Structure 1
Amino acid sequence: MTEYTLEDQAVKDKLYKLIDEKHDKMIEIRHYLHQHPEVSFEEKETGKYIADFYKDMDVKVEDNYGDGYGVVVTIDTGNPGKTIALRADFDALPVQEETGLPYASVNDGAMHACGHDGHTAYMLILAESLYEMRSDLTGKIKIVHQPAEETPPGGAQGMIEAGVLDGVDAILGVHMWAPIPYGTVECTTGPVMAGRSSFKMTIHGKGGHGSAPHLANDANVAASFFVTAAQTIVSRRVNPFDMATLTIGNFDGRGSFNVIKDSVFLEGDVRFMKDETCAVVEKNFKNLVKGMEIMFDVKIDLFYNNDYPVLNNDKELTEKIQKSLENSGIKEIKHLDFEGRESASEDFAYFTQNIPGTYMFVGEMPDDGVFYPHHSPKFIANEKALGLTAKAVGAATLDLLNN
């Protein structure tokens, strides 16, 4: 059983003080990044900005890491001990911003609509603070600035293949989450984020005149049937106690009012909380496609890909972090939720497949309780969450290193 001493708390309080003193700097960083977003696998300038932040520190900086613009920074305390990795993603989305903020995106068609600018800002300040108090710590801290979380195959796998987890004992990640009230921290054992599959399909029929449908083969009719029938996979093939969703996000069947379309394009995704559910949905999805080809006498081109696995938090590590949060002394924490899970997906899951990892959520709902979902062109973050996130991740890191 871990014992927390006055000395432990003094070290944490020192870290919290450093973070508080850098509050304005952290907000300034976030505003700059928000104003200059770059989408997945195109984050060249963002990667350079991150690497340049560390240029005056006595740390090891590796840029262009993996198959993108990743940056890995190693802080060596000079004292023997564990190596703990902290990961923050930094890519933006192909979204046209509609917030009207004074620091809104200046890059047309790109926006930090998921909050990765905030993840990077808090991580830079936390890393700088940990570096400044490294003589109080043991072991090494590896800061993993990861690109391309939003777009499969994601940036995590490339960094793993390049060796980012070599010698690492555990990895921590966090997402500031608008649907959760500020002051709440979620930290749950087991599956905490859904796995995701995606699909694209083109249904080929035979075009014709609206007045003579018998001489054509309407792809819109087949596609419409599929949209409804596909939902029976979740309602009739998946165990009711297991979570699954199947969404058709794009149905491109537009044309002239009197023309029967010869092809229709559909795309969407599947979410699940168990790997077994992933296999069940994929099998029945493909069976449905085969049956439709016979039923409607159409040809279907299908691309079906399992993008990200279920994100599982290591039980032993997560329970340690739960205890750390309970004993953190962070005054901004109003509520700890050790049961919360989210149905979105994250390529942090690949890290946790290789070493013990824990992924947390920190509430960033605006104070008035009104929020736009992540990925919305009107998404606005509660910037008070940045400091709380830095402290929560920092406290967990200190306990893992020094205990």
Structure 2
Amino acid sequence: MTTIGVIAQKHHKSVIELRRYLHRFPELSNQEFNTQKHIMQELTAIGLACHSIAKTGVIAELEGGKPGKTIAIRADMDALEIVDECGKSYQSQNHGVCHACGHDGHVAMLIGVAKILVEIKEEIAGKIRFLFQPSEEHFPGGAKFMIEEGALDGVDAIIGAHLWEPMKVGTIGITFDRLMASPDEFTIKIKGRGGHGSMPQQTVDALLVGAQLTVALQTIVSRNVDPLEQAVVSLGYFRAGETFNIIPDTAVIKGTVRSFEPSIRSLIFERIEQITKGICEANNASYEFEKVLGFPALINHPEYSKVIGEAGVTVLGKENVLTINPVMGGEDFSYYLEKVPGAFFFVGVGNVEKGIIYPQHHPKYDIDEDALCYGMEIMATAALALAHK
């Protein structure tokens, strides 16, 4: 075991305790005041000066014993508006708020990384900047505000990680290009003319128009997007009418678009509006269309993914460092990678034997806490290598 590994093991228990505390007291986006306070207490206790940033975020920096680069490591802090059903002693005490995406573990891991690197700071060439970011779950995301307030000033590279249930504990997932898609939203409001269900000839049936549109929108990816390109159009909301015998005058459809290429993103939204316009005109209905462009796609820089992969091999062995396919979820870490080079990776937390089987954003989501030690050891190892690079 490496020196970093020994130190990581020493701090593993305290990192677990911190993660469980944060899980018990989760906070929603831009409301992470207690989380912020707790992070600052942890950093101060190990001798790191820190200050608030982006309202509820925290930034701290460790200066090494030798000159070198400045490497940033980021963890997000916010929880989700979900009722926690994990059934553990650390189940959320803030009803309706839950760390169902692992951000409690991200914070705890980064505190663990800070503890490791403080102990070997004389070996570090350059500086390590610790970024605790609020509001990843709530668009437009906290990364933009962190950057605007100087989080990346003087930074040469950045790394980050996400605890990932689909991968088993003891593995990590990396890519050398695309990792996560742009998560966009759209809303279509169809305006018809309502009336009694017995006299449909007097109406413009917004529900029927919406039903046609729901089917037609599913042809965009299959018929307009190159089959070798990655894209998703999914509808998650369709509402029309209040009772069984009244034809509704309005219908509302909401959905998401996921893509990697800006040209594909533009094509999909163009086709959504073309299809909506055509179907509405054919049925004598009108419509309102609104789109919200989310985070950019998260594209890793290959040379930095390689460093993370090498750190993973050191910690877990070559067979447990997996080159994975991109996923269509979104992450505002992409904003950092538009400004400075770096990479983002997944740390496996799934464990069937322990019942850790529920995906991100599920009320019963939980993690195998062994992953916290692996994650902080890999991040510390990679940051040290990048600072010397």
TM-score range with shorter-chain normalisation? over 0.9
Partner SS state of residue 158, structure 2: strand
Q: Which runs of 5+ in 2 are unaligned?
A: none
CA apart distance, 1:123: 0.8
- Residue 228 of structure 2 is aligned to residue 214 of structure 1: no
2:26 counterpart residue number: 37
2:37 counterpart residue number: 48
1:365 counterpart residue number: 350
CA apart distance, 1:254: 4.8
1:399 to 360, 385, 389: 385
1:8 counterpart residue number: none
Partner SS state of residue 268, structure 1: strand
**Counterpart code for 1:221:** L
2: CA distance between counterparts of 1:39 and 1:250? 23
1:121 counterpart residue number: 108
CA apart distance, 1:354: 0.8
- Residue 332 of structure 2 is aligned to residue 347 of structure 1: yes
Structure 1 residues 352 and 341: alpha-carbon distance in aligned structure 2, compared to 1, 3 A threshold: same
2: CA distance between counterparts of 1:333 and 1:343? 26
Structure 1 residues 162 and 28: alpha-carbon distance in aligned structure 2, compared to 1, 3 A threshold: same
- Residue 58 of structure 2 is aligned to residue 62 of structure 1: no
- Residue 261 of structure 2 is aligned to residue 274 of structure 1: yes
CA apart distance, 1:71: 0.8
CA apart distance, 1:331: 4.5
The one-character-per-residue Cα deviations of 1:177-201 (angstroms, maximum 9, x if unpaired) are 1001112111211111111211122
- Residue 375 of structure 2 is aligned to residue 389 of structure 1: yes
The one-character-per-residue Cα deviations of 1:110-138 (angstroms, maximum 9, x if unpaired) are 11111111111111111122112212212
CA apart distance, 1:320: 3.0
1:148 counterpart residue number: 135
Contact 1:184 1:336 survives alignment (8 Å): yes
- Residue 368 of structure 2 is aligned to residue 379 of structure 1: no
Contact 2:300 2:344 survives alignment (8 Å): yes
Structure 1 outlier segments of 4+, above 4 Å: 331-334
**Counterpart code for 1:382:** D
Partner SS state of residue 382, structure 1: coil
| Greater alpha carbon shift after TM alignment, 92-101 vs 145-154 | 92-101
1:223 to 193, 201, 210: 210
Question: Mapping of 1:4-403 within 5 angstroms?
Answer: 13-63=2-52, 65-66=53-54, 68-326=55-313, 328=314, 330-331=315-316, 334-368=319-353, 371-403=357-389
Contact 1:373 1:379 survives alignment (8 Å): yes
1: CA distance between counterparts of 2:302 and 2:45? 38
1: CA distance between counterparts of 2:182 and 2:30? 21
2: CA distance between counterparts of 1:298 and 1:102? 54
Contact 2:170 2:316 survives alignment (8 Å): no
CA apart distance, 1:370: 5.7
Q: Which runs of 5+ in 1 are unaligned?
A: 1-11
The one-character-per-residue Cα deviations of 1:186-223 (angstroms, maximum 9, x if unpaired) are 12111111112111222222221111112222211111
2: CA distance between counterparts of 1:21 and 1:78? 23
Contact 2:207 2:241 survives alignment (8 Å): no
**Counterpart code for 2:376:** A
2: CA distance between counterparts of 1:321 and 1:124? 19
Contact 1:182 1:367 survives alignment (8 Å): no
The one-character-per-residue Cα deviations of 1:51-110 (angstroms, maximum 9, x if unpaired) are 2221234323121x12x4111111112421110000111111111122222211111211
| Greater alpha carbon shift after TM alignment, 257-266 vs 107-116 | 257-266
Contact 2:308 2:378 survives alignment (8 Å): no
* Count of residues in correspondence between the two structures: 388
2: CA distance between counterparts of 1:208 and 1:107? 45
2: CA distance between counterparts of 1:250 and 1:51? 40
CA apart distance, 1:366: 1.6
Residue identity over aligned pairs, in percent, reads 35
1: CA distance between counterparts of 2:270 and 2:132? 36
Instruction: Give the TM-score, by structure 2 length.
Output: 0.95
Please, what is the CA RMSD of the aligned residues? 1.7
2: CA distance between counterparts of 1:195 and 1:201? 20
1: CA distance between counterparts of 2:232 and 2:4? 42
CA apart distance, 1:235: 0.7
Structure 1 residues 54 and 294: alpha-carbon distance in aligned structure 2, compared to 1, 3 A threshold: same
2: CA distance between counterparts of 1:321 and 1:389? 11
Structure 1 residues 313 and 70: alpha-carbon distance in aligned structure 2, compared to 1, 3 A threshold: same
**Counterpart code for 2:368:** N
